[in-house]
Chains A and B, each alone.
Chain A
Amino acid sequence: MMAYDSNNAPENHTLHIQQLFVRHQQAVLGYVLSIEPNFADAEDIVQEVFLAVSRKAQMWSAGTDFFAWVCAVARYETLHFQRTRARRTARLDEDVVELLHAAGTLDEFQRQHRVDVLRRCLRRLAPRAKELVWRRYHGAQMPEQIASGVGWSVNSVRVALTRARRVLRDCMERQFSAGGESL
């Protein structure tokens, strides 16, 4: 359990940072999930990121890209978490994770644009596939839990989820192509 030092009073700037963070919390979680796919671990990491940005609040100044700064902190905290506290022992080598994510990430606008497009595509997903996606990403259920809930085999659930993701990706690509963009 981490001790909290109530005498170490944050200034207004820190409170502002904390409020900004709460506004971006879901996007930060989405970013962390791209590095650490386990929902429970990712949520723990977001907690750590919040504490880290609170500590480092003075390093950010208004007018610069808050989300990019938080993602940089989140990447560091995720790697640290995976080194020290992750539940699963099998994971990608650290140099590979650095290689994958060193190039930066989507900016806030790009990310939100993709989320909006993805939501439109989700509405077009077949009902059963939609239910599986909903259970996986809203209910944070693992394939075994979903299989138990819908009466399928685990493998069938995994295959169906993979197929659903492919359908969503194709849908997104079509929409981006129509708008002259690429994923």
Chain B
Amino acid sequence: MNVQRLHELIDDWRDGMLTEQAAAELSQLLRDSDEARRIFRAESQMHGLLHQAVTAAAVEETAGLAARPAHPAASGRPEKSLRLKARITSRKLQVAGTSALVLAALSAFLWLSLWRQPKPRHPKPAESFATLTRAAGCVWEGPTRPRAGDRLAVGVLNLRKGTAEVKLSSGVDLLIEAPASVELVDTNNCVLTAGRIVARVPPAATGYVVDTPKAKFVDLGTEFGVLVEPERETIAQVFDGIVVAELKNSDSTGKRSRRLVAGETVRIDASNGVELQMVAFSYEYFLRTFSTPSVYQGEELIPFKPSRMSSLDVVAAPGRVTIDGDLSDWDLSGVFEARCAEPFAESHSVDGSMMYDEQHLYVAAEVGDPMPMRNVIGPNTDPWSAWMGGSVQLRLSTDRSFGWPLTARKPYSREPRPQDLSGRIAHLTLWYFQPREQPCLEIRYGMNMDRGLVNPPGWQGAFRKAADGKSYTVECAIPWALLGAGSDPPQAGDELGLSWTVNWSDASGKLWKGQLVEIKNPPYADRGKKALTFLDAATWGKAVYK
């Protein structure tokens, strides 16, 4: 048996590159040889184990947990393990996983020393090395007040209002969201002292540094966002690839760096200056894509509208429900209708309905959308960003003991309360992944949203585009078990927290253009209250189960 050839064929099998001829060759090898089968079993098993191991590592790194029980039987119910992960403090972490932390620190050190060595920290800057490529509603302060198309050199940009996009000659894109103060140092460095910035770094510019008062964030060929709120907090999110956060002061475990992968968020609390926590990923911190002026009305981003409804009737399903995007078998008596403010009232709207039975929650929406069902953000690669490409989102509670208004909030520095982390609070994102023509669902749990599922077994969804191409219908059935209520689903008479968000994209299916948030608690009906539904469940309206 030619072992090398066998391994080549196994590689092709694993990577989906088997030709008919190679498949026949591999089949024959495996048929003829016990040893070949042993090798194949080991390699194929490794493929599955690696996926499981990497997924588990990613989930637990997100929660800041470096050690875990060795056997699944020791981990208890999922809700319990979630709570344990989310409540871990750095002190507990130190006690629970000292050896793992040493390994992680060593790994981070090696990582840094290996990849940073060849790259000079402050190469001599060019005369001008950047261009302000786009500017929307920009109001600048200070001596530098560029306009779109202007070349930029070393200097500080103070953006009081608006959104600006800067492209460096190295290929790095910076999206700056006001109010912000950014110093462009050179093609490898910038300093952010206040505001939000999203950096997209191509492979050739790997090593780009966003320096802040609390930490340096060093990219490894990726896309990431950094938020600096002076006197309050510094937050970094990784959307793709890997980033290393180098702390100016070590955290309470003595660590000076933290490696972040896609989907992870790190927060540095300004109150003590040195504590570093892993907090839940929250995709709505940053504007990742440039919004053209057409989505602004004055200074307000639109399509948008103040909420007018505080509740939605969730009616009992009348009988068999076929999930096919056709709502003729629905009881639509509980429907709500919402339209964006002018000039988008005709084109951007939603008619939303919900039904239930003992096993499922049913959700349906007819969404007015000039660019329907174009979302190209994949469920396997970047599900937490999928909302941007056009989506319907629901935030809801299935636990009647929480009552209404729901007091759960995203726990920042304070100790979380049980409802903050409850598996019976769910955030649903429904979208149509156009490249695979696939209805998709992401569920995140609790206000931390640090645990979630993508396209979980048991859910069903269907999307249907209208004949005129100006709207779509989404219909889905979600088992109560996936909403933490398998044994205790909502019943008639229950009034539980609920809020809807509809997101629209542009023609590319990935650039967010605006949103509508409806079913809100009246005191929070407009944006002036500075309360966001994904952060604070008190802003949610209610679902009234009929």
Q: Can you list, as one digit per residue, whether each of A20-47 has a CB less than 8 Å from chain B (1) or not (0)?
A: 0111111101111111011110010011
Q: Across the interface, do B455 and A134 meet the contact criterion of CB distance under 8 Å?
A: no
Q: Which of B13, B52, B56, B110 contacts A92 (CB under 8 A)?
A: B13
Instruction: Report if B496 contacts A (CB, 8 A).
Output: no
A123-B107, A183-B42 known; A90-B322 Cβ under 8 A: no
- CB pair A118–B18 under 8 Å, yes or no, is no
The stretch from B275-283, B357-365, B533-541 touching chain A is B357-365
Q: Is B170 in the interface zone, CB < 8 Å from A?
A: no
Q: Is B57 an interface residue (CB 8 A)?
A: yes
Does B5 interact with chain A (Cβ within 8 Å)?
no
Chain B residues in 8 Å Cβ range of A116? 68, 70
If the complex has contacts A92-B30, A99-B37, are A118 and B50 also in contact, measured as CB distance less than 8 A? Answer: yes
Closest to B360 in A: A6
Instruction: Please determine whether A119 and B486 come into contact, CB atoms closer than 8 angstroms.
Output: no
Say yes or no: A15-B481 contact (C-beta < 8 A), given A6-B317, A6-B360: yes
Contact A162 B457 (CB under 8 A): no
Closest to A144 in B: B15
Contacts of B455 on A, CB cut-off 8 Å?
43, 47
Write out the residue numbers on chain B whose beta carbons fall within 8 Å of the beta carbon of A142: 15-16
In chain A, what residue has the closest Cβ to B15?
A: A143
**Chain B positions within 8 Å of A46 at CB level:** 457
Report the bound CA distance from A86 to B297 in whole Å: 49
* Interface core residue of B16, B53, B56, B321 (most chain A CB under 10 Å): B53
Write the nearest CB–CB distance from B529 to chain A, whole angstroms.
Answer: 37
* Interface flag for B289 (CB, 8 Å): no
Residue of B whose beta carbon sits closest to that of A17: B481
Contact for A39 among B19, B57, B380, CB less than 8 A:
B380
Expressed in whole angstroms, the minimum distance between the Cβ of A179 and any Cβ of chain B is 12
The stretch that binds A, out of B20-28, B133-141, B332-340, is: B20-28
A169, B10: Cα distance in complex, Å: 15
Q: How far is the CB of B83 from chain A (nearest CB, A)?
A: 15
Interface residue B497 (Cβ < 8 Å from any Cβ of A): no
The chain B residue sitting closest to A148, CB to CB, is: B203
Of the residues B11, B47, B321, B453, contact of A4 by C-beta under 8 Å:
B321
Q: Choose from A2, A30, A127, A128 the contact partner of B51 (Cβ within 8 Å).
A: A30
Which chain B residues lie closer than 8 Å to A18 at the CB level? 458, 479, 481, 486
For A137, give its contact among B11, B50, B100 (CB under 8 Å).
Answer: B50
Given that A50-B458, A140-B380 are known contacts, is A37 also in contact with B70, CB under 8 Å in the complex? no
Partner of B23, one of A2, A92, A127: A92
Cβ of A9 within 8 Å of any chain B Cβ, yes or no, is: yes
Q: How far is the CA of A115 from the CA of B262 in the complex (A)?
A: 21
Checking B261, B323, B456 against A22 with a beta-carbon cut-off of 8 angstroms, the contacting residue is B456
- Interface mask (A46-79 → B, CB under 8 Å = 1, otherwise 0): 1101110010000000000000000000000000
- 8 Å CB contacts to A: which residues of B426-448? 436
Q: Interface centre among B30, B50, B58, by most A CB within 10 Å?
A: B50
Contact size range, A: 35 or more
Q: Least Cβ distance of A175 to chain B in Å?
A: 13
Give B385 Cβ to nearest chain A Cβ, in Å. 13
**Interface: B271 (CB within 8 A):** no
- Shortest Cβ gap from A122 to chain B (Å): 6
Instruction: Knowing A34-B44, A49-B457, A100-B40, say if A40 contacts B49 (CB, 8 Å).
Output: no
In the complex, whether B487 has a CB less than 8 A from a CB of chain A is: yes
Flag if B203 contacts A22 (CB, 8 Å).
no
Of the candidates A23, A96, A108, A183, the one whose C-beta lies within 8 Å of that of B78 is A23
B111 an interface residue at 8 Å Cβ cutoff?
yes
C-alpha gap A10/B489 in the complex (Å): 13
Decide if A4 touches B50 in the complex (CB within 8 Å). no
Please judge, given known A-B contacts A19-B481, A92-B30, A96-B30, whether A6 and B319 are in contact too, CB under 8 Å: yes
Q: Is the CB of B481 within 8 A of A119?
A: no
- The answer to whether B42 and A169 touch across the interface, beta carbons within 8 angstroms, is yes
Do residues A5 and B320 form an inter-chain contact, with CB atoms below 8 A?
yes
Interface centre among B15, B22, B40, B380 (most CB of A within 10 A): B15
In the complex, chain A residues 128-167 whose Cβ is within 8 Å of any chain B Cβ: 128, 131, 133-134, 136-143, 149-151, 158, 162, 165
What residues on B are CB-neighbors of A99 within 8 Å? Answer: 30-31, 37
User: Is the beta-carbon distance between A4 and B322 smaller than 8 angstroms?
Assistant: yes
Least CB distance from B453 to A in Å reads: 8
Q: Does A181 contact B (CB under 8 A)?
A: no
Interface centre among A18, A43, A133, A138 (most CB of B within 10 A): A138
Contact B55 A138, beta carbon cutoff 8 Å = yes
Find residues 75-119 in chain B having any chain A CB closer than 8 Å to their own CB.
77-78, 100, 103-104, 107, 110-111, 114-115
Decide if B294 is an interface residue (CB 8 Å cutoff).
no
Whole-angstrom distance between the alpha carbons of A100 and B57 in the complex?
A: 29
Does A88 lie within 8 Å of B381, measured CB to CB? no
B71 interface neighbour in A15, A112, A123, Cβ under 8 Å: A112
B23 and A91 contacting across the interface, CB-CB below 8 Å: yes
B508-521 to A contact mask, C-beta < 8 Å, 1/0: 00000000000000
Residues of A within 8 A of B261 (CB): 134, 138
Distance in Å: Cβ of B9 to nearest Cβ of chain A: 10
In contact, B16 and A149 (Cβ under 8 angstroms): no
Q: Which 8 A-B pairs have the closest CB atoms?
A: A50-B457, A30-B48, A151-B203, A30-B52, A33-B48, A140-B380, A34-B48, A137-B54
9 intermolecular pairs with C-beta atoms under 8 Å apart: A25-B453, A30-B48, A47-B455, A100-B30, A112-B72, A115-B52, A122-B57, A165-B46, A168-B50
A91-B23, A138-B262, A162-B11 provided; 19 other pairs, C-beta below 8 A? Answer: A4-B360, A15-B486, A21-B457, A22-B78, A25-B456, A26-B56, A40-B436, A88-B18, A90-B20, A90-B23, A92-B30, A113-B70, A122-B57, A123-B100, A134-B58, A136-B50, A137-B50, A138-B261, A165-B43
Residues of B in contact with A (beta carbons under 8 Å apart): 7, 11, 13-16, 18-20, 22-24, 26-27, 30-31, 37, 40-58, 68, 70-72, 77-78, 100, 103-104, 107, 110-111, 114-115, 203-204, 220-221, 241-242, 261-262, 317, 319-325, 357-360, 380-381, 436, 453, 455-458, 460, 462, 477, 479, 481-482, 486-487
